[in-house]
Amino acid sequence: MTERFVISVHRNLVVSPEEVWGVTSNSSRFGEWVSNVLEVNAHPGEAKPGDVFTERVRSIGPLVSRPTWTVRTFEPMSSRIDSAEGLAPLRDVINVFRFAPIGDGSATSMTYEFHYDLRPRPFGWLVHRVLSKVMTAEFDNSMRALEALILSERSNAAH
Protein backbone atom coordinates (compact mmCIF):
# COMPACT_ATOMS: atom_id res chain seq x y z
CA MET A 1 0.00 0.00 0.00
CA THR A 2 1.21 3.52 -0.70
CA GLU A 3 1.00 6.73 1.24
CA ARG A 4 -0.05 9.91 -0.56
CA PHE A 5 1.91 12.97 0.53
CA VAL A 6 1.48 16.66 -0.30
CA ILE A 7 3.87 19.55 0.14
CA SER A 8 2.13 22.90 -0.33
CA VAL A 9 3.53 26.42 -0.13
CA HIS A 10 1.61 29.66 -0.60
CA ARG A 11 2.94 33.13 -1.35
CA ASN A 12 1.48 36.47 -2.41
CA LEU A 13 3.42 37.97 -5.32
CA VAL A 14 3.48 41.68 -6.21
CA VAL A 15 3.06 40.90 -9.91
CA SER A 16 -0.11 40.29 -11.91
CA PRO A 17 -1.60 36.87 -12.71
CA GLU A 18 -1.00 37.63 -16.42
CA GLU A 19 2.70 38.16 -15.77
CA VAL A 20 2.92 35.05 -13.60
CA TRP A 21 1.09 32.98 -16.22
CA GLY A 22 3.36 34.33 -18.95
CA VAL A 23 6.35 32.71 -17.26
CA THR A 24 4.82 29.62 -15.58
CA SER A 25 2.95 28.49 -18.70
CA ASN A 26 6.24 28.24 -20.59
CA SER A 27 8.03 25.02 -19.58
CA SER A 28 11.27 26.17 -21.19
CA ARG A 29 11.56 28.94 -18.57
CA PHE A 30 11.43 26.71 -15.47
CA GLY A 31 15.23 26.80 -15.18
CA GLU A 32 15.03 30.58 -14.76
CA TRP A 33 12.99 30.47 -11.56
CA VAL A 34 12.46 26.94 -10.17
CA SER A 35 15.32 26.65 -7.69
CA ASN A 36 16.11 22.96 -8.13
CA VAL A 37 15.88 22.89 -11.96
CA LEU A 38 19.37 22.76 -13.44
CA GLU A 39 18.15 22.62 -17.04
CA VAL A 40 15.06 21.96 -19.12
CA ASN A 41 15.43 19.73 -22.18
CA ALA A 42 13.05 18.71 -24.94
CA HIS A 43 10.47 21.30 -23.94
CA PRO A 44 7.50 22.50 -25.98
CA GLY A 45 7.78 26.12 -24.80
CA GLU A 46 4.24 27.42 -24.28
CA ALA A 47 2.54 24.46 -22.65
CA LYS A 48 -0.66 22.71 -23.62
CA PRO A 49 -2.19 19.49 -22.25
CA GLY A 50 -0.34 16.41 -23.45
CA ASP A 51 3.00 18.17 -23.94
CA VAL A 52 6.04 16.35 -22.57
CA PHE A 53 9.32 17.85 -21.38
CA THR A 54 12.37 16.65 -19.46
CA GLU A 55 14.48 18.32 -16.81
CA ARG A 56 17.69 17.78 -14.95
CA VAL A 57 16.92 18.61 -11.31
CA ARG A 58 18.78 18.67 -8.02
CA SER A 59 17.01 16.21 -5.74
CA ILE A 60 18.53 16.22 -2.26
CA GLY A 61 22.12 17.21 -1.67
CA PRO A 62 24.28 16.14 -4.61
CA LEU A 63 21.65 13.80 -6.08
CA VAL A 64 20.40 14.68 -9.57
CA SER A 65 17.30 13.27 -11.28
CA ARG A 66 16.10 13.48 -14.87
CA PRO A 67 12.30 13.43 -14.71
CA THR A 68 9.98 13.46 -17.68
CA TRP A 69 6.94 15.68 -17.15
CA THR A 70 3.58 15.63 -18.91
CA VAL A 71 1.30 18.66 -18.88
CA ARG A 72 -2.06 17.29 -17.69
CA THR A 73 -4.31 20.32 -17.43
CA PHE A 74 -4.16 24.06 -17.22
CA GLU A 75 -6.55 26.92 -16.91
CA PRO A 76 -4.89 30.16 -18.09
CA MET A 77 -4.01 32.43 -15.16
CA SER A 78 -5.64 29.97 -12.76
CA SER A 79 -3.81 26.61 -12.60
CA ARG A 80 -1.39 24.21 -14.22
CA ILE A 81 -1.03 20.52 -13.37
CA ASP A 82 1.88 18.35 -14.55
CA SER A 83 2.75 14.73 -13.74
CA ALA A 84 6.24 13.21 -13.62
CA GLU A 85 8.10 9.96 -14.01
CA GLY A 86 11.72 9.42 -13.08
CA LEU A 87 11.85 10.78 -9.52
CA ALA A 88 12.42 7.45 -7.75
CA PRO A 89 11.65 6.50 -5.04
CA LEU A 90 8.74 8.92 -5.46
CA ARG A 91 5.80 7.64 -7.52
CA ASP A 92 2.71 9.17 -9.08
CA VAL A 93 4.20 12.66 -8.82
CA ILE A 94 1.88 15.59 -9.54
CA ASN A 95 3.02 19.23 -9.55
CA VAL A 96 0.30 21.88 -9.21
CA PHE A 97 0.53 25.65 -9.60
CA ARG A 98 -2.57 27.63 -8.55
CA PHE A 99 -3.01 31.36 -9.12
CA ALA A 100 -5.63 33.95 -8.12
CA PRO A 101 -5.69 37.72 -8.49
CA ILE A 102 -5.43 39.83 -5.35
CA GLY A 103 -7.34 43.10 -5.02
CA ASP A 104 -7.30 45.07 -8.26
CA GLY A 105 -5.44 42.26 -10.06
CA SER A 106 -1.99 43.80 -9.83
CA ALA A 107 -0.85 41.08 -7.42
CA THR A 108 -1.16 37.29 -7.39
CA SER A 109 -1.85 34.65 -4.76
CA MET A 110 0.21 31.59 -5.76
CA THR A 111 0.20 28.08 -4.34
CA TYR A 112 2.88 25.57 -5.34
CA GLU A 113 1.95 21.94 -4.54
CA PHE A 114 3.83 18.67 -4.95
CA HIS A 115 1.85 15.43 -4.56
CA TYR A 116 3.48 11.99 -4.47
CA ASP A 117 3.36 8.41 -3.26
CA LEU A 118 6.31 6.80 -1.55
CA ARG A 119 7.25 3.17 -1.04
CA PRO A 120 8.03 1.32 1.15
CA ARG A 121 5.33 2.51 3.48
CA PRO A 122 7.19 2.28 6.82
CA PHE A 123 9.73 4.83 5.63
CA GLY A 124 7.24 7.15 3.93
CA TRP A 125 6.64 9.52 6.82
CA LEU A 126 10.33 9.77 7.67
CA VAL A 127 11.30 10.58 4.08
CA HIS A 128 8.36 12.97 3.77
CA ARG A 129 9.52 14.88 6.84
CA VAL A 130 12.94 15.41 5.28
CA LEU A 131 11.56 16.20 1.82
CA SER A 132 8.96 18.55 3.23
CA LYS A 133 11.55 20.75 4.96
CA VAL A 134 13.82 20.92 1.91
CA MET A 135 11.06 21.33 -0.66
CA THR A 136 9.07 23.89 1.32
CA ALA A 137 12.14 26.14 1.34
CA GLU A 138 12.81 25.46 -2.36
CA PHE A 139 9.21 26.22 -3.36
CA ASP A 140 9.30 29.49 -1.41
CA ASN A 141 12.65 30.38 -3.00
CA SER A 142 11.23 29.51 -6.41
CA MET A 143 8.22 31.78 -5.98
CA ARG A 144 10.51 34.60 -4.78
CA ALA A 145 12.69 34.03 -7.85
CA LEU A 146 9.62 34.05 -10.11
CA GLU A 147 8.54 37.39 -8.66
CA ALA A 148 12.07 38.84 -9.01
CA LEU A 149 12.33 37.60 -12.61
CA ILE A 150 9.04 39.22 -13.57
CA LEU A 151 9.94 42.49 -11.84
CA SER A 152 13.29 42.50 -13.61
CA GLU A 153 11.67 41.87 -17.00
CA ARG A 154 9.10 44.58 -16.29
CA SER A 155 11.91 47.02 -15.43
CA ASN A 156 13.89 46.08 -18.56
CA ALA A 157 10.80 46.57 -20.74
CA ALA A 158 10.29 50.06 -19.28
CA HIS A 159 13.79 51.16 -20.37
pLDDT score for 15: 98
pLDDT of residue 3: 59
- Are the C-beta atoms of residues 24 and 150 closer than 8 Å to each other? no
pLDDT at res. 44: 78
Supply the mean pLDDT for the chain.
92
According to DSSP, the residues that pair with 117 across neighbouring strands are 4, 91
pLDDT of residue 53: 94
- How many degrees, rounded to 5, is the angle at CA 89 between CA 123 and CA 32? 120
Is 118 exposed, middle or buried, given 0-12, 13-18 or 19+ CB atoms closer than 10 A?
buried
Identify whether the C-beta of residue 49 lies closer than 8 Å to the C-beta of residue 56: no
Residue ranges, the chain, pLDDT below 50: 1
